[in-house]
Amino acid sequence: MKTLKGPGIFLAQYAGNEAPFNTLPDIARWAASLGFVGVQIPSNDHRLFDLEKAAASKTYCDDMAGMLAGHGIAITELSTHLQGQLVASHPAYDRLYDGFAPPALRGHTAERQAWAVDQLKLAAKASQNLGLSAHATFSGALAWHLFYPWPQRPAGLVEEAFAELGRRWRPILDAFDDAGVDVCFELHPGEDLHDGATFERFLDAVDHHPRANILYDPSHMVLQQMDYLAFIDLYHERIRAFHVKDAEFRPNGRAGVYGGYQNWIDRPGRFRSLGDGQIDFRAVFSKFAQYDYPGWAVLEWECCLKDPEQGAKEGAVFIRDHIIKVTDHAFDDFVATGADQAFNRQILGLD
């Protein structure tokens, strides 16, 4: 069995223009001071990381890894959440998603999509240069606006959406396969891949590509009212990344899963800092120990109540205390009889 790695922290919600959050060395020093031993790096944030240089230069990657190691920090994964969103997006969201792309590409949907695909392929090479085995991203969405079956959907509409999603992602998955890196889709409302059923549709569309895998985040499953523990039983072979994020769901007489267009603080389902929500993380970490999860436990802080730095400080301790150091022997080995086939047949009364 494997003991998972951690605690790590996703830097996207912490990167900023003020020290210590505006350079990778400084934010790594800050993370290490809280007890984190890994960082998940948003590849689009040039204050922290140069994706193009990382894809082209092994020396750049070695220097970065060496600098982080000096602080006791490793890179858990790179992230292309924003670029992945642009691989496939419905025109209804074009204006909102333009901010995810460079200014010169805004308003130019085809060029923006081509840029996003190139970004993912650069991330594959950069991950290889960094010696990483997994990558975090979003799938994008062509059919999210159809998630509720009204008005009635024409026959074949959803199937065509997933066929196109597969066509767009297949060459990216192949690039990651060439790099020896798993693509881990965060299953997230707003993405075409947001639960087990949609992930299965996508797997069919890409012929069960070995690099099509899952970033497990139980908070999104709580907000969808899914069984987040049974999900691990069903899909553990494809789970290759893990965001440790808490959530709560408290429906009332005014709103439920859909949230009533309310702000996060007023929604029945909302994200919380670790330990403040409803997720049974002892059971989650036990499942990962049971199934030999091979990756990292990475804090993603998203809370509408608690200060982010307090959330990080508490989160490092929370994850550390939940990691199960797996046993290397069975608890009843002290009464082992040491047997062979002949002895077993005697016990069964066969000889």
The predicted pLDDT at position 351 comes to 78
The predicted pLDDT at position 337 comes to 77
**Which two three-digit tokens encode residue 310?**
């307090």
Percent of the chain with pLDDT over 90: 93
Please say if the pLDDT value at position 6 is more than 80: yes
The predicted pLDDT at position 339 comes to 77
Please say if the pLDDT value at position 333 is more than 90: no
Kindly report, residue by residue over 288-319, the tens digit of the pLDDT: 999 999 999 999 999 999 999 999 999 999 99
The predicted pLDDT at position 347 comes to 86
Please give the domain boundaries of the chain with CATH numbers for all domains.
5-347 (3.20.20.150)
- Please report which confidence band the pLDDT of residue 336 belongs to, taking 50, 70 and 90 as the band edges: confident
Q: Which of 91-100, 185-194, 195-204, 325-334 has the lowest mean pLDDT?
A: 325-334
pTM of the predicted protein model: 0.96
Provide mean pLDDT across the span 116-140. 98
